[in-house]
Amino acid sequence: MSAEVQTLLGPFGAAQARKEAQDAQCAICTRMIPSSGEANIVVTRSDDPAEGLQVYFTHPTCAPSTVTTLATGSPRNPAGDDMRMTALPAPAHGRRLPILVAELACPVFVAPNEHAELTGVLSPYLQEHGFGLASDTTTPPPPAAEGWAAVLAEDPAGAQAEEIGVLSIADAQGTDFFIGTIHTPPTWRRTALERGTVALYVGPARLDPTDPDTAAQCRQLQHAALGGHLLAATVPLLDYAAL
Ligand SMILES: [Zn+2]
């Protein structure tokens, strides 16, 4: 971490950034940064101090650890808003909901000003929309703001229709939160559509959407929740074919 970045983040923010960089994805090449490897921490700030700082992570070979200033109105997130979505079955016990987990392809953190605590770039938006901190994935999350909905459609190509679907999630204003293909575990689609609601977790859980070992992925999710990394809400799930 460059001295300039270290000074801007302060000792607490710098320690937090070092921790978040472990197993994060590089904002330049999108490959994983191994927890045993080195990461560079890059900070961007706008000309407008009210917009605060954005913090992201790269391999040392992909970008230097620097503080860059972006003019107001220019794109602020170099990694874009790409997300990956993992579907996991409802936990085995109790009246639990099928699970969706949304992760930014490259985690970006924000701080309101220098020497402030870093939070996930989506956190303020999600908290305004009814999402709460998920400290335990075995209890159902609070409902999202009215109007949020997830819609599941069959894979248009028709191949592997049970395991590949197209998912869109829109917020209360009708803005797309996510739209893309999703790999669903066996029977997930039918079970989730029958239930009509899902627990949507958002945060760096570091899951693999195609890993057939969903029990291991659920443990990984619980680990991220215990670490305070996830926000969650319950969202209605609709079948596109029934709309
Ligand atoms: Zn890289």
What average pLDDT score do residues 17-22 get? 87
pLDDT mean across residues, the chain: 86
d(CA 142, CA 127): 11
Tell me the CA–centroid distance for residue 10 and ligand 1, in Å: 25
Strand order across the beta sheet in which 108-111 lies: 67-70, 40-46, 53-58, 108-111, 119-120
pLDDT score of 161: 57
Tell me the CA–centroid distance for residue 58 and ligand 1, in Å: 5
pLDDT score of 77: 44
d(CA 202, CA 233): 9
Tell me the CA–centroid distance for residue 32 and ligand 1, in Å: 8
Whether residue 193 is predicted with pLDDT greater than 90 in this model: the reply is: yes
What average pLDDT score do residues 202-206 get? 90
Tell me the CA–centroid distance for residue 33 and ligand 1, in Å: 7
Tell me the CA–centroid distance for residue 142 and ligand 1, in Å: 36
pTM recorded for the entire structure: 0.84
pLDDT score of 141: 93
d(CA 115, CA 112): 9
Cβ < 5 A residues, ion ligand 1? 26, 28-29, 59, 62
What average pLDDT score do residues 215-226 get? 93
Which tokens is 39 given? Answer: 């990461």
pLDDT score of 72: 46
d(CA 194, CA 205): 26
Q: How do residues 149-192 score in pLDDT, each as one tens digit?
A: 999 998 766 655 568 889 999 999 988 999 998 999 988 999 99
Q: How do residues 21-80 score in pLDDT, each as one tens digit?
A: 887 888 888 888 888 778 899 898 877 777 788 898 999 998 888 887 765 443 344 444
What average pLDDT score do residues 214-223 get? 93
Q: How do residues 111-148 score in pLDDT, each as one tens digit?
A: 888 888 888 888 888 999 999 999 888 888 999 999 99
Backbone angles phi, psi at 126, to 5 degrees: -65, -40
